[in-house]
Amino acid sequence: MREVDVKLITEKVRDLCMEANTDLGQDVLQAFDRAIEREESPVAIEILKELKENARIAKEEKVAICQDTGFAVIFLEVGQDVRLIGGNLTEAIHEGVRQGYRDGYLRKSLCHPFTRANTGDNTPAVIHTDIVPGEKVKITVAPKGGGSENMSRVMMLTPSDGIEGVKRFVIQRVKESGSNPCPPTIVGVGIGGTLEQSALLAKKSLLRPLGTKNPDLELDRLESEILVGINNLGIGPQGLGGRTTSLAVHILMMPCHIASLPLAVNIQCHVQRHKEVII
């Protein structure tokens, strides 16, 4: 059995928090380029170029891509042949978030739901853990902005709503969101499972690199159809019109109960941040 000291996890989470908030992935930058080629609106093209420039400055000067540095969402895959030593894993992750947001001069965005008193260090993180085969630990840090999270929804459709009901709901959600989630967005969709599982599927679907295909051909087709419907809405970058309301639709699906058709839409703004490491 391999031993991993949780202090190493603290260190990695710290670094990933800073990296994710300052270094936008190449896949996102390439998606901006493809959108610029397709766009017809001069204003939309200008905004997309500004987003690229903003990402360049953030990376070079090591400053946050956006003032909203997000809720620290952590996905952990822990190999079942790993023995974690040196302390409490959850605490180690929180300490990593605390250090990353402090050392990276990242805004602390979490507060008490009613008093709105800031927690002061951007903790607690939301931690999703999967136990997987092997002796590695994979850590993904995916800071999630409030504006786009606010526009996300879970809907328990009825089985008879079917695939057309899913399409209608997702496109309508993007339409009603307008400029609020800072388009161009990436639309994460979770279909099936239970209420909470559909939301987790939607969030996990956002981790897939932009520009890659869904391995399920039926879902790949559905993603394309929904994306066309969304981009025909004309909301455009920052809501100022254009064909690029969303850069991609990503879907994850699993079986559901015979009585239900759970559907979650997790909207992600253009600051599509996530960084990962395997130790």
CA of 52: how far to CAs of 1, 25, 161, in Å? 45, 11, 39
% helix / strand / coil in the chain, to the nearest 5?
A: 40, 25, 30
Cβ neighbours of residue 126 closer than 8 Å, sequence gap 6 or more: 71, 72, 73, 74
Which of 27, 57, 32 has its CA nearest to residue 45?
A: 32
Residue 246 tokens read as: 């969303």
148 lies in the site for ligand SF4, by CB under 6 A = yes
Q: Smaller CB distance to ligand SF4: residue 151 or 252?
A: 151
Minimum distance of ligand SF4 from residue 100's CB (angstroms): 16
Q: Smaller CB distance to ligand SF4: residue 134 or 147?
A: 147
Identified binder of ligand SF4 from the candidate list 16, 51, 66, 139, rule CB under 6 A: 66
Q: Which residue type does 218 have?
A: E
Which of 272, 20, 209 has its CA nearest to residue 122?
A: 20
Total residues contacting ligand SF4 (rule CB under 6 A)?
11
Stretch that binds ligand SF4, among 49-57, 116-124, 139-147, 214-222 (CB under 6 A): 139-147
Which of 42, 71, 66 has its CA nearest to residue 55?
A: 66
Q: Smaller CB distance to ligand SF4: residue 111 or 195?
A: 111
Are residues 241 and 41 in contact, defined by beta-carbon separation less than 8 angstroms?
yes
Minimum distance of ligand SF4 from residue 135's CB (angstroms): 35
Stretch that binds ligand SF4, among 145-153, 158-166, 208-216, 225-233 (CB under 6 A): 145-153
Are residues 17 and 141 in contact, defined by beta-carbon separation less than 8 angstroms?
yes
Identified binder of ligand SF4 from the candidate list 16, 28, 166, 271, rule CB under 6 A: 271
Identified binder of ligand SF4 from the candidate list 79, 96, 145, 242, rule CB under 6 A: 145
Stretch that binds ligand SF4, among 51-59, 144-152, 158-166, 207-215 (CB under 6 A): 144-152
- Give the pairing type, strands 126-132 and 71-79: parallel
269 lies in the site for ligand SF4, by CB under 6 A = yes
Minimum distance of ligand SF4 from residue 251's CB (angstroms): 21
Q: Smaller CB distance to ligand SF4: residue 93 or 269?
A: 269
Annotate each residue in 155-194 with x if it binds ligand SF4 (CB under 6 A) or - if it does not, as one string.
--------------------------xx------------
- State which H helix or E strand residue 185 sits in: strand 185-193
Are residues 104 and 17 in contact, defined by beta-carbon separation less than 8 angstroms?
yes
- Binding to ligand SF4 (CB under 6 A) within 206-225 occurs at none
Q: Smaller CB distance to ligand SF4: residue 145 or 237?
A: 145
68 lies in the site for ligand SF4, by CB under 6 A = yes
Identified binder of ligand SF4 from the candidate list 147, 165, 209, 239, rule CB under 6 A: 147
Are residues 110 and 122 in contact, defined by beta-carbon separation less than 8 angstroms?
yes
Measured distance CA(238)–CA(148) in Å, rounded: 12
Determine phi and psi for 144, rounding to 5 degrees. -120, 120
- What residues form DSSP beta bridges with 2? 82
- Where does this chain bind ligand SF4 (CB under 6 A)? 66, 68, 70, 145-148, 181-182, 269, 271
